[in-house]
Amino acid sequence: MRKILFASSEVHPLVKTGGLADVSASLPLALHEQGQDVRIVMPAYRACLAALEGTAVVASINLEGFLLPVEVLESRLPNSDVVLWLVNSPYHFDREGGPYGQPESGDWPDNAARFALFSRAIAVLAMNEAGLSWQPDVLHCNDWQTGLAPALIAAQEQRPATLFTIHNLAYQGLFSRDEFDALDLPDLFWHMEGLEFYEQLSFMKGGLVFADKISTVSPSYAEEICNEEYGYGLEGLLSYRADEGRLSGILNGIDHDEWNPKRDPYITSPYSAKKLDKKADNKAALQRYFSLPQEPDVLLLGFISRLVSQKGIDLTISAVRQLLDAGAAVQLVCLGSGDPDYERDLQVLRARFPDKVGVTIGYDEALSHQIEAGVDAFVMPSRFEPCGLNQLYSLRYGTLPIVRTTGGLADSVEDADELGGGTGFQFELATPEALLVALNRALALYQQPVLWRQMQVTAMKRDFSWQNSAAAYLALYDDLSL
Ligand code: ADP
Ligand code: GLC
């Protein structure tokens, strides 16, 4: 049994902006189920404290660079026995709004301090210096918000082995030199081979430079980030670490209990690969919800997403507009929030085709399950996608994904052939035209119900549970110090 401290800035169902939260709950849970002593550490945001039934103060710690002591609260990950530690600094985390800022006004201006404090607390826990009598063998950090922790303990003796997982290289935690100075970090970190990145402080580099090993969330993304196109200037460092054998990719798994069409409390009519006909009830319910004509035979497309350029929303809007202008028998339902320009563009599309397009701007957990269950095909034309979870949820729900061949999308969806082989539809170029070709292929195959159903059944049988991926993490934990 290994002792694993798993550090993340968001954990479902307590606080979530994207897939990181899903993984930060379902991976520790899978490790726990495989007999590991895993504990999660996250910030004590106001929303978490409100959602948790009971927390106990188990430690009070002083952190370098911060005046007030910080409490460590203990609780359990909801619906599990997994120990959850919350770093409680009300000044930094007890506020209304999201974990990184407010949708209208951007990032919190003190994010450098907030996540430096979080990283410092992680380091204290990792070194068993909080008086909790628990010395982890492995510190597993996730994304930039935890990036300083591996750096802070790198030179210490008797430290745990460290793994840093990149969920998205696009968000690096870059701050000014002044902010670096204000954080009281060791001067020697201000170096190209440390945390400095073109005269800025990079939290992400803390993980990339100082962790024993780096992983990312799909094998393809692990290769892509070593190239200029996807590396954001970090491709040299990442290639170097890859050459050392210190960068790998493990495809995310999904929580098979939470995402299970046979027992999904959010959906109208549960179904399985053997009782696929019932999926139609969910389609009708979704069409009703979005006030679209309840036509069983139109191809109902859907997407659920943060509305950011990464996700190729503009490609979807343009390609679907062309399809609808040409009179194709398709409908589209969308759920998302983010960039106001994309929100407006979606509303414009809806206004132009009110009986073909449904749009919900916002965040809605229940509706996200209903869309996965109700649509025929899921559109995910991401410009880059480290892993992507919605295509995995789609496969499990017999909803065929239409994806760009990048990152985890390329690693999880098999392109259709004319004989009903494959589990979805792939295309390469990030252009509306290329997506349109894939949409037309899907539309053509949808006219052949036997082949479509064959693909649905194949998709539903693919196993993206955590079983294999959690085992891959365990093997990686064992290799960290090699
Ligand atoms: P990313 O982490 O880049 O946003 P992923 O595909 O890994 O992309 O994960 C996104 C997660 O967030 C999925 O669980 C998805 O269902 C959820 N999600 C995204 N937007 C919304 C929304 N508007 N409402 C509900 N869930 C959402
Ligand atoms: C990131 C990525 C997404 C991935 C998720 C969980 O948010 O954008 O592709 O699935 O992290 O690893």
Does any ligand 1 atom lie closer than 6 A to the CB of residue 317?
no
User: Would you mind telling me the total number of residues written for the chain in this entry?
Assistant: 482
CA of 170 to the centre of ligand 2 (A): 11
Domain 276-463: what homologous superfamily? Glycogen Phosphorylase B; (3.40.50.2000)
187-216 per-position pLDDT tens digit: 999 999 999 999 999 999 999 999 999 999
The number of angstroms, rounded, from the C-alpha of 282 to the middle of its chain's C-alpha atoms is 26
Instruction: Indicate the CATH number of 3-253+467-480 among 3.40.30.10, 3.40.50.2000, 3.40.50.620, 3.30.565.10.
Output: 3.40.50.2000
Cα 190–chain centre separation? 30
Encode pLDDT of 364-385 as tens digits: 999 999 999 999 999 999 999 9
pTM to 2 decimal places: 0.97
Determine if ligand 1 sits within 6 Å of the CB of residue 194: no
Query: Would you state the pLDDT for residue 482?
Result: 60
- For residue 420, the Cα-to-chain-centroid distance in whole angstroms is 30
311 alpha carbon, closest ligand: 1
User: Could you tell me the distance, in angstroms and rounded to a whole number, from the CA of residue 387 to the centre of ligand 2?
Assistant: 5
CB of 18 sitting under 6 A from ligand 1: yes
3-253+467-480 matches 276-463 in fold: yes
Per-residue model confidence (pLDDT) at position 481: 76
Q: What pLDDT does 472 receive?
A: 97
pLDDT at 106 over 90: no
The residue contributing the CA closest to ligand 1 atom 13 is 19
Domain extents in the chain: 3-253+467-480, 276-463
- pLDDT tens for 152-163 read 999 999 999 999
Summarize pLDDT for 434-468 with one digit per residue, the tens: 999 999 999 999 999 999 999 999 999 999 999 99
Nearest residue (CA) to ligand 1, atom 17: 18
Per-residue model confidence as pLDDT tens digits over 45-92 = 999 999 998 899 999 999 999 999 999 999 999 999 999 999 999 999
Q: Whose CA is nearest to atom 5 of ligand 2?
A: 19
The residue type of 437 is: V
22 CA: nearest ligand 2 atom: 6
Q: Is the CB of 372 under 6 A from ligand 2?
A: no
CA of 389 to the centre of ligand 2 (A): 7
Give every CB contact of residue 6 below 8 A, 6+ residues apart in sequence. 24, 27, 28, 31, 38, 39, 40, 41, 140, 142
Report the nearest atom of ligand 1 relative to the CA of 335. 23
**Over pLDDT 70: what percentage of the chain?**
99
